Amino acid sequence: MIRMCFLLSLLVSASAMADEPMMTDFGKTKDGKAVELYTLKNDTGLVAKVMTRGATLVQIHVPDKDGKSEDVILGWDDVAGYESEDNQYFGCTTGRVCNRIANGKFSLNGKDYSLAINDDPNHLHGGVERSLDKVVWKARPYTNDRGHGVRFNYTSPDGEEGYPGTVKALVSFFVPKDANRILITYKATTDAATPINLTNHAYFNLGGAGSETVLDHVLQLNADKYTPTDDTLIPTGKIVDVAGTPLDFTKQKRIGARIEKLTDTAALGYDHNFVLNPKPDDKEHNFAALLRHKESGRTLRILTKEPGIQFYSGNFLKGQKGKDGKTYAHRSAVCLETQHYPDSVNQKAFPSTVLQPGDEYKTSTLLQFGIAKGATGN
């Protein structure tokens, strides 16, 4: 009897271990740090892979209308690809401040700060060498009765990439057992006032990573307004209506239908921050975007606690080779980055991105994958 109970205990333990997110080696960085890759699976066909360098989404596999699964985000098969010049923030956590800060400068509490200029003449996505997408985070996988996840932790010391304050950041990815969803949660604390604005920079093509174009996708954004920019893509401070412009995605529209009207602008296509409409109810997350691919039937619905979303149409993709040797052509994927507005630290009229000591930065975004039910776009 004792032996039987012991064997049963071993079987239960083995089953629990099998349910844990699987960790594999993903290589080493140029400075010799080991990078781990975690695989999250559920019972409905979703497989997500995330790595410790940059708290990065490496793969998202979801089924199409016929049940065939494809990886729908851009990336590489090893760390070397992510450390190459061809990496344009694929799948990473960007920060401390995502998007742009004008001239790489801001002031807090009477002190001026200067940041790297890596998108001349502005600062972009947190810096150059030690931005959050380029450091190796510590990972802790977990399982509960709802599903599986991985928590990534990183402590950014005072002065890293020019930002004030020691920031303790946590980013978690959670996959429920019974739905094709990924919940991304962000938390941070600081010991000195500092701007924080975190997002994930995944490049999506619902036809599968490496598909020729994303212009055949249909998009809807829950945004009646956007923040216009100057010629360096810094917001002017105004918030204006999308109505009557190529930026009107309040109803489902094909991405390629009007993009050429923006080709000769500073954005070179779509690269705009949209102001999300207020939540009409007490739901935790606000509907932000719907992306749909007719041929595969796949859809992506994005919900968030953030006030804005950056729609970027892959204007700088240049044919680099990615996973399985697939080519990432110009405008073959889109980014839909939930965020506070760009340059908010210098724009008093925008929602603040400044985190104070004693407060906690906390936000989340939900990626919901599905199959379309007859919706059409123009």
- Kindly write down the DSSP assignment for every residue of 238-251, as one continuous string: --EE-TTSTT--SS
Catalytic residue among 148, 306, 337, 340: 337
Q: How many CB atoms lie within 10 A of CB 79?
A: 24
Distances, alpha carbon 153 to alpha carbons 131, 179, 256, 272, in Å? 14, 26, 39, 30
Helix, strand, or coil here: 54? Answer: coil
Q: For the chain, how far is it from start to end, CA to CA, in angstroms?
A: 69
> 366 with 182: CB under 8 angstroms?
yes
> 361 with 222: CB under 8 angstroms?
no
Per the annotation, the verdict on 337 as an active-site residue is: yes
Q: Name the phi and psi angles at 182, rounded to 5.
A: -130, 120
> 19 with 9: CB under 8 angstroms?
no
Give the separation between CA 99 and CA 339, rounded to whole angstroms: 9
Catalytic residue among 123, 125, 148, 201: 201
- Beta bridge partners, 184, equal 173, 365
Q: Name the phi and psi angles at 276, rounded to 5.
A: -70, 140
Active-site residue list: 201, 337
